[in-house]
Amino acid sequence: MHGIPIILATLIRSLSSQPLPPDFPLALADATGEMVVFTEAPRRIVSLSPDFTENLFALGAGDRIAGVTAFCDYPPAAAGKKRVGDLWTPNLEEILALAPDLVLATQEGNRPQAVKALRELKLKVFVSPPARSVEGYLRNLSELARMVGAAEQGEELAARLRSEIARAHGRSAGWKRPRVFLQLGRSPLVTAAWGTIIGDLIEIAGGENIAAASPLRYPSFSREQVIADDPDIIIVALEKREAEVCRKEWEEFASLSAAKSGRICTLDPDLVSRAGPRLVDGLRALEGMIRTIDGQPQAEGARSR
């Protein structure tokens, strides 16, 4: 009888010392329903979204990027990559000339016609679904990591980001939530509602999104509607020069609670609209705007300083 535990212990040690199953071959269904098969990690990748570009560099696969769009400007090393047009009109000839073994596209950011044309050129295209929450982004990140042979790096990165998000959730517990309007466009006046990373970030940071109940994910608001809703905070997430113009426009409405309290803020849009690791930087920025102490909503029982 004593020999059985010894045999089991030996077997367990033997199994635990075996290498992990290989990453490849790998078959993944993309957002279009296409089954994309990977027999090995791609060596030449064309990224048709700034999100992919940023995530590939974060996963340590930046050296395998052969081409990017004109909007792929982060990290700085992306500037040295071949430009293949923009999100809506990628240059098919330039992409084909790069001989990629993988083209990465997004369901919301790239035209279906472009994806179809690339596949007709016999190129392997993976179309990623939209991330409708921070957790959705982390799932997409892990999937991308698997397809480029960086599953371990992907899990480590996702774990770090989840830890940051969990801490932010903890900080927001018990706070009286100020009402927030986040502006993404000037004409029309676009914001983010349900089913978006931005809407999720506002909630995690401790705010109440006034657009949350909209039936559209990215609805247009009239200025009169925003004034009637009277948010405690207005955050303008636009290019710096345009953001300053919009901020001054809102400040002209002296009856707005956000104008009275000086809580009309500007934010780098890339920190919240790009599904990449910098989302946690955007989350910290939102926290700072939402949880300003001087005269603003605080945690239950907290004292003014």
Give the tens place of pLDDT for each residue, 84-96.
Answer: 999 899 999 999 9
Average the pLDDT over 148-152 and give the result: 95
Q: Which residues contact 282 (CB under 8 A, 6 or more apart)?
A: 201, 267, 268, 271, 272
Q: How confident is the model at residue 169 (pLDDT cuts 50, 70, 90)?
A: confident
Element (H, E) at 144: helix 134-147
More confident residue, 300 or 79: 79
Is the model's pLDDT at 294 over the cut of 50? no
1-32: per-residue pLDDT in tens? Answer: 444 334 434 433 444 344 445 578 999 999 99
Q: What is the pLDDT of residue 23?
A: 79
Q: What is the pLDDT of residue 10?
A: 43
Average the pLDDT over 225-247 and give the result: 96
Neighbours of 35 (CB within 10 A): 8
Is the model's pLDDT at 140 over the cut of 70? yes
Share above pLDDT 70 across residues of the chain, in percent, rounded to a whole number: 88
Are 290 and 178 contacting, i.e. CB atoms less than 8 angstroms apart? Answer: yes
Share above pLDDT 90 across residues of the chain, in percent, rounded to a whole number: 83
Q: What is the pLDDT of residue 171?
A: 87
Lowest mean pLDDT among 5-14, 172-181, 296-305: 296-305
Q: What is the pLDDT of residue 291?
A: 83
* Entry pTM: 0.86
* ∠ CA 169-170-175, rounded to 5°: 90
Residues listed for the chain: 305
94-114: per-residue pLDDT in tens? Answer: 999 999 999 999 999 899 999
Q: Which residues contact 273 (CB under 8 A, 6 or more apart)?
A: 184, 197, 198, 237
Lowest mean pLDDT among 58-67, 169-178, 192-201, 259-268: 169-178
d(CA 161, CA 137) in angstroms, rounded, equals 11
Q: Which residues contact 225 (CB under 8 A, 6 or more apart)?
A: none
What are residue 150's phi and psi, to 5 degrees?
A: -125, 40
Buried b (16+ CB within 10 A) or exposed e, 201-211: bbbbbbbbbbb
- Strand spans (E) along 57-168: 65-68, 82-83, 102-106, 125-128
Q: What is the pLDDT of residue 124?
A: 98
Structure token digits, residue 61: 């696969």
Q: What is the pLDDT of residue 17?
A: 41
- Pairing between strand 189-190 and 220-221? antiparallel
- Strand spans (E) along 210-301: 220-221, 233-236, 264-266
Q: How confident is the model at residue 60 (pLDDT cuts 50, 70, 90)?
A: very high
Average the pLDDT over 51-61 and give the result: 98
Edge-to-edge strand order for the sheet containing 65-68? 82-83, 65-68, 45-47, 102-106, 125-128
186-218: per-residue pLDDT in tens? Answer: 999 999 999 999 999 999 999 999 999 999 999
Average the pLDDT over 157-169 and give the result: 95
Indicate the average pLDDT of the chain.
89
More confident residue, 12 or 268: 268
Q: What is the pLDDT of residue 224?
A: 96
